[in-house]
Amino acid sequence: MKRIFSSRTFNTFQLELETWPYPEHTHNFYEIILINQGRGQHILNDSTVPYEENSVFLLTPDDYHAFQIQDPTTFTYIKFTEQLFREKHFSTYDNQWIKKVENALYKPNTISENLVIDPNDNTLLFTLSKALLQEFKSPKRYSRNLLLELFGAVLIILIRNLEKKNPPTSNTVYIEQQKLQAVLAHIRQHLNDKTLVTQKYIGTTFNISPNYLSKYLKKHTGLGLQKILTETRLKTAERLLLQSGLTISEIAIRVGFTDASHMNKIFQKYRERNPSSYRK
């Protein structure tokens, strides 16, 4: 999977697109994406959700995504790294606020749909993003200070909306969620290397008893390791069948099946059709 790198601590810009030119990818930065106009589908971490005007998405470096554009779309991007967060370190805020920021940013995305539902917050967020864009494109004296303050306001709006969707949890629960998300992210990233998704390897890597790993996953997700592997492979294959020009054999290898025949067998068992009919 392609990874996009940026050396900037902060960047903001707009794109007007009729078709999405980029493959599914990750980043080395955080990304806030605002939809100014347009309609389509956003594929984020194996989930596909619709987007429309005024939709807002927050991506961490561990997230991977792409868009399917139905109507010409104007995107506003706000990209930043942890260095900007440290520069805008909220020194005037208490430790509780800093923890809220860290909880929101330092974990893979668990909310794939539009993030900001409150209409007043949504209007304010798009107004702030417009001001950020103008100041960034035409810098003046004290522009960096102003950018940091505007960015801080954007972050506050996002975090209070994140808390509505993901109520704060205890530190113990949060740590457990972090571990679970790390395990699931590892599985998604290494589907095609069977040596890296064995019970022993995952258990050792994430400090979980290999003999307990499948029970651990079933406790938190309802699925054991093998079922998670199978479902993740199937969902990834489904997306590639619909969105890529790869052959069925190439997709089979990419998602960790032995060959096209193996993928066909699993598709028939769990989807009651073969990959070719699914693609059609």
Which residue spans of the chain are classified as CATH 1.10.10.60? 171-279
- Is the separation of the CB atoms in 31 and 77 below 8 Å? yes
Of 66, 65, 64, 98, the closest CA to residue 82 belongs to 98
- What residue spans in the chain does CATH classification 2.60.120.280 cover? 2-165
Q: Domain 2-165 in CATH: superfamily? A: Regulatory protein AraC (2.60.120.280)
What is the assigned CATH class of domain 171-279?
mainly alpha
Distances (CA, A) of 80 to 16, 45, 145, 272: 21, 20, 15, 44
Sign of CA dihedral 20, 6, 32, 26: positive
Measured over the CA atoms of residue 70, residue 74, residue 78 and residue 79, the dihedral's sign is positive
DSSP-based three-state secondary structure for 89: coil
pLDDT in tens, the chain (280 residues): 676 777 688 999 999 999 999 887 777 788 999 999 999 999 887 678 899 999 999 888 878 889 999 999 999 999 988 767 656 554 444 455 555 665 666 554 555 678 898 899 999 999 999 999 999 999 999 998 899 899 989 988 988 887 776 655 555 555 677 788 788 888 888 888 999 999 999 999 999 999 999 999 988 888 899 999 999 999 888 888 887 788 999 999 999 999 999 999 999 999 999 999 989 8
Give one DSSP letter per residue of 48-76, joined into a string: EEEE-TT-EEEE-TT--EEEEEEEEEEEE
Residues 118 and 165: beta-carbon distance below 8 Å: no
Consecutive H or E run containing 216: helix 210-221
What pTM was estimated for this model as a whole?
A: 0.60
